[in-house]
Amino acid sequence: MASRGRKRKAEAAVAVAEKREKLTSGGKGVEEVTVVIEHCTSRVYGRNAAALSQALRLEAPELPVKVNPAKPRRGSFEVTLLRPDGSSAELWTGIKKGPPRKLKFPEPQEVVEELKKYLS
């Protein structure tokens, strides 16, 4: 019997990762160091993202902080540092954390400390 054209899981994962990278970078490199917060559109996620972006802006006001530049993945909460050379550094990921849900969200000070490590 012929296959129905379904993608295998490994191929689908690679395709999703490539699409995400393309969307995050906007199809072009960033001109300066940027912090990107990707969070699910649920209210709880939004409140935590707002608190985190405020803490990052207070700590490094010269750094642009983008919240959900592309459509976020379901249940995601990630903070990524994008560099002008095209590389990125993950400051926090809550995708594999939980339950309980509160484990998905970092303390803002933890992310600020990680950011300091990458900027110095």
CA dihedral 54, 119, 37, 80 (to 10 degrees): -160
Is 2 among the domain residues? no
Range of the structural domain that residue 38 is part of: 34-119
Is 112 among the domain residues? yes
**pLDDT (tens digit, 9 = 90+) per residue, 100-113?**
877 888 888 999 99
Is 71 among the domain residues? yes
Is 56 among the domain residues? yes
Is 1 among the domain residues? no
Q: Which two tokens stand for residue 87?
A: 């590389």
Q: Which two tokens stand for residue 98?
A: 């939980």
**What is the pLDDT at residue 9?**
57
* Mean residue pLDDT across the chain: 79
Is 7 among the domain residues? no
Place of tokens 């903070």: 79
**pLDDT (tens digit, 9 = 90+) per residue, 22-38?**
555 554 555 888 999 99
The pTM of this model reads 0.68
Q: Are 57 and 4 in contact (CB under 8 A)?
A: no
Total structural domains within the chain: 1
Closest among 76, 69, 66, 80 to 41, alpha carbons compared: 76
**What is the pLDDT at residue 27?**
46
Is 110 among the domain residues? yes
CATH number at residue 89: 3.40.30.10
